[in-house]
Amino acid sequence: MDVYSVGSERELNGFIDRYVRPDTVFQTSCNTIVDRLVHFLQNNVSGRLRPRRVVKSGSLGKGTAVRGKSDIDLVLMLAAYTDVEALLKDIKALLAELQTYLVRYGEARLERVTSYSVQVELTGGGVTQSVDILPAVDLLEIGVIPKEIYDKMSRPGANIHEYSVTLGPLQVEIIKALPAKVKDLIRIIKYWEDVKMKSVKNRKWPSSYTLELVILHAWNQAGKPESFNMAHALHAVLTLLVEHQQLKATFPDQMKYSSRLLRIRSPPYIMDPTNPYNDMYHGLFDTAWDWEDVAMEARAWLRKPLLCQLRNTRNRWQ
């Protein structure tokens, strides 16, 4: 069944339940194979690569996975480091050591190595799961308050990427705390994104976290309802995507820093509530999103029977 053929809110909720929300078997299998890797990393890695803790991020960690598809980042908060710059000096050697441990683990197939992570593929229980493993400094757990982290990030030459990884647990905290129905709204948008991304190669749609923030912004504007008409909410989100050049998202209710730290440019902008230096609208780390492509597909969905009669849903999700 195609998502565009859904014609009523009842059908939409049924579609989410049948095709979008992960089933218990899938979710359990993914968590099982990831938890085995987490246990290995926590109990078998030594030296400077020994983790203080392992943080689950990505859709599996946030509770927004789509049926048959989930992404997971495991952030190794290293016990031996208290300074991001010191970790960056060692990052190549750390990633090489991490590869050695993963080969020893035996249940992970190496996919690729980036400047900051090792990506592996896990298989078990009938599912295959890609996992990014990123070494980081656990600044939040060793008593460094967010304001001090933001001060460090403001220094010339600061590595914003690595500090963003350090702040990753705050992103998980914000999305994981959302009501179940908002997570379903996130899932249907991710499902739609995945279908459209597969239909045309080389599309540069916004990251999952960017889309999560657009949905969070829409939910805030609607008054943060826990129960709502899913079709109305979907219409509001798609309308925001069509009108993306007017986005002015700052998330005062979820922001982890003082509004005085915001460095807002002229609209459009989507200011990361965990990081005042990340404007997610303009892409992350020099990756520009193709918002016009997203808007084109959003317009197409808004013309379908489910949504074409709806109007003024920004503040009315009931």
Query: 141: domain CATH number?
Result: 3.30.460.10
Distances (CA, A) of 121 to 29, 125, 132, 208, 266: 14, 14, 9, 20, 41
51-79 pLDDT, tens digit per residue, is: 999 999 989 899 999 988 778 999 999 99
**pLDDT band, residue 288 (cuts 50/70/90):** confident
Contact call for residues 278 and 164 (beta carbons, < 8 A): yes
Residue 7 lies in a domain: no
> What is the distance between the alpha carbons of residues 119 and 248, in angstroms, rounded to a whole number?
34
Residue 172 lies in a domain: no
Residue 269 lies in a domain: yes
232 burial level (CB within 10 Å; 0-12, 13-18, 19+): buried
Do 127 and 185 belong to one domain? no
Do 142 and 252 belong to one domain? no
Do 27 and 90 belong to one domain? yes
Mean pLDDT within 256-276: 86
Bridge partners, 248 (sequence order): 269
**pLDDT band, residue 316 (cuts 50/70/90):** confident
Choosing from 144, 166, 188, the residue where a domain stops is 166
Do 138 and 216 belong to one domain? no
Do 227 and 161 belong to one domain? no
Using H for helix, E for strand and C for coil, what is the string for the chain? Answer: CCHHHCCCHHHHHHHHHHHHCCCHHHHHHHHHHHHHHHHHHHHHCCHHHCEEEEEEEHHHHHCCCECCECCEEEEEEECCCCCHHHHHHHHHHHHHHHHHHHHHHCCEEEEEECCCCEEEEEEECCEEEEEEEEEEECCCCCCCCHHHHHHHHCCCCCCHHHHHHHCHHHHHHHHHCCCHHHHHHHHHHHHHHHHHHHHCCCCCCCCHHHHHHHHHHHHHHCCCCCCCCHHHHHHHHHHHHHCHHHCEECCCCCCCCCHHHCCCCCCCEEECCCCCCCEHHHCCCCCCCCHHHHHHHHHHHHCCCCCCCCCCCCCCCC
Provide the pLDDT for residue 284. Answer: 63
Contact call for residues 227 and 317 (beta carbons, < 8 A): no
Do 47 and 154 belong to one domain? yes
Contact call for residues 246 and 275 (beta carbons, < 8 A): no
Percent of the chain with pLDDT over 90: 67
Residue 11 lies in a domain: no
Query: 199: domain CATH number?
Result: 1.10.1410.20
197 burial level (CB within 10 Å; 0-12, 13-18, 19+): middle
Question: Has this prediction a pTM greater than 0.75?
Answer: yes
Provide the pLDDT for residue 273. Answer: 94
Closest by Cα among 3, 9, 285 to 165: 285
Choosing from 143, 166, 189, the residue where a domain stops is 166
Residue 242 lies in a domain: yes
- Domain span at 283: 178-302
Do 191 and 158 belong to one domain? no
Question: Max alpha carbon distance in the chain (Å)?
Answer: 61
> What is the distance between the alpha carbons of residues 8 and 254, in angstroms, rounded to a whole number?
32
Neighbours of 148 (CB within 10 A): 11
Do 155 and 197 belong to one domain? no
Do 151 and 189 belong to one domain? no
Contact call for residues 82 and 143 (beta carbons, < 8 A): no
Residue 257 lies in a domain: yes
Token output for 270: 């989507």
Residue 3 lies in a domain: no
Residue 173 lies in a domain: no
Provide the pLDDT for residue 126. Answer: 81
Do 132 and 182 belong to one domain? no
Provide the pLDDT for residue 285. Answer: 57
> What is the distance between the alpha carbons of residues 150 and 144, in angstroms, rounded to a whole number?
10
**Domains contained in the chain, number:** 2
Provide the pLDDT for residue 179. Answer: 97
Do 201 and 240 belong to one domain? yes
Do 36 and 155 belong to one domain? yes
